[in-house]
Amino acid sequence: MRILITGGAGFIGSHLAESCLEKGDEVYIIDDLSTGDIKNVRFLQDNPNYRDRLFIHINTILNHDLMLELTGICDQVYHLAAAVGVQTILEKPLESIITNIQGTEKVLEMCNKFKKRVLIASTSEVYGKHTHAPLVETDNIIYGPSSKFRWSYAASKLMDEFTALAYHRKNGLEVIITRLFNTVGPRQTGAYGMVIPRFVAQALRNEPITVYGDGSQTRTFTYVKDVVDALTKLMASNASIGEVFNIGGVEEISILDLANKIIAMTASTSRIQLIPYDEAFGKDFEDMQRRVPSTEKLAQVIGSAPDKSLDFILNQVVDFIKNQ
Ligand code: UDP
């Protein structure tokens, strides 16, 4: 099978590329390295078993001719290229909206032209301000005002979902939409704000752990290889076509408890530093207070759902950062 992965040099994309190569697929990556990193895939290029089956294009998904060529030759498309991380959205709002909306439109246009099955990576951000748990794919959605730019990410990804579903309804395009909850694991960088790599790096250096707000906000974390497993199984299933799926982890934890857990786990002398949101992100910021997925629909279709414990995930991240 020939697989196109947009954003394949990113954290999740590179794990997906590795999994496809392990299965014997030919993998085509397109990535503009805006938040991806060539280091994420260099070890795959260096592997003699994979070298001849891996083709990397450092380019933008807005490049019409290249996307035409790549979509034409591939059998299936995973669309993971997107603006990543709350920090990126706040620092580069316009680029982020363009990447998410125009980029996804381009991918869908190409997949529709060649009638290729496409999986779109959306995000748990689309749920907006809900605090009930668990979040179900059919839930209503509430966002903050347009003056608060965080919600532009949610709105742009929601537009991506609508566009994909419209292609499915109107043209019969085989689309699958996945809402990824906080995904964690080796190769994720803290550079775009992601909490676990940041806290682990801070703890290992015995620096203050930067908890935003009062730390009462909660998250569940998903191990990246569980995410990849779910993505590939959804891609292989006909029951997933035209449907939206949560992909998320199992243990809800507050960010303050997470900080304390990481300090204990790394035997760090770090202290916790509470940083008000407006200091961290400016006055127009709103956080999501709680985000817990229902993965019932996912489990019904693929027979399993992410189940790695937070301890397991944290151990993987600690080992990775220590060895860097
Ligand atoms: N967070 C934090 N300190 C950091 C980075 C993040 O307290 O140095 C918090 C952030 O405000 C959010 C949670 O950790 O409540 C998860 O943040 P992340 O950016 O990883 O993902 P999000 O869920 O916001 O997309």
Distance 42 CA to ligand 1 centre (A): 29
The chain-wide mean pLDDT, for the chain, equals 96
**51 pLDDT above the threshold of 90:** yes
Q: Which CATH number fits domain 2-184+224-249+293-307: 3.40.50.720, 3.30.365.10, 3.60.150.10, 3.40.50.1820?
A: 3.40.50.720
What residues have CB less than 8 Å from 238, skipping those under 6 apart?
Answer: none
Residue 116 CB–ligand 1 contact under 6 Å = no
pTM score above 0.85? yes
Distance, first Cα to last Cα, the chain: 33
Question: Going edge to edge, which strands form the sheet with 243-247?
Answer: 54-58, 26-31, 2-6, 76-79, 117-123, 175-180, 243-247
10, 41, 158, 215, 254 from 260: Cα distances, Å: 29, 33, 34, 11, 10
Q: What is the pLDDT of residues 108-160, one digit of tens each?
A: 999 999 999 999 999 999 999 989 999 999 999 999 999 898 899 999 999 99
Residue 139 to residue 55: CA distance in whole angstroms: 39
| Phi, psi (degrees; rounded to nearest 5) at 162 | -60, -40
Residue 262 to residue 275: CA distance in whole angstroms: 18
- Point out the ligand 1 atom lying closest to the alpha carbon of residue 198: 8
**284 pLDDT above the threshold of 80:** no
Residue 198 CB–ligand 1 contact under 6 Å = yes
Predicted confidence band of residue 83 (pLDDT cuts 50, 70, 90): confident
Active centre residues (catalytic): 153
Residue 256 CB–ligand 1 contact under 6 Å = no
% helix / strand / coil in the chain, to the nearest 5?
45, 20, 35
Distance 195 CA to ligand 1 centre (A): 5
**58 pLDDT above the threshold of 90:** yes
Per-position DSSP letters for 135-172, written without gaps between them: B-TT---B---TTSTHHHHHHHHHHHHHHHHHHHHHH-
Contact yes or no for 284/147 (Cβ under 8 A)? yes
Residue 282 to residue 125: CA distance in whole angstroms: 19
Quote the pLDDT of residue 121: 98
113: its two tokens = 């032209």
For ligand 1, atom 19, the nearest C-alpha belongs to 194
Predicted confidence band of residue 193 (pLDDT cuts 50, 70, 90): confident
Share of the chain above pLDDT 90, in %: 91
59 DSSP 8-state letter: S
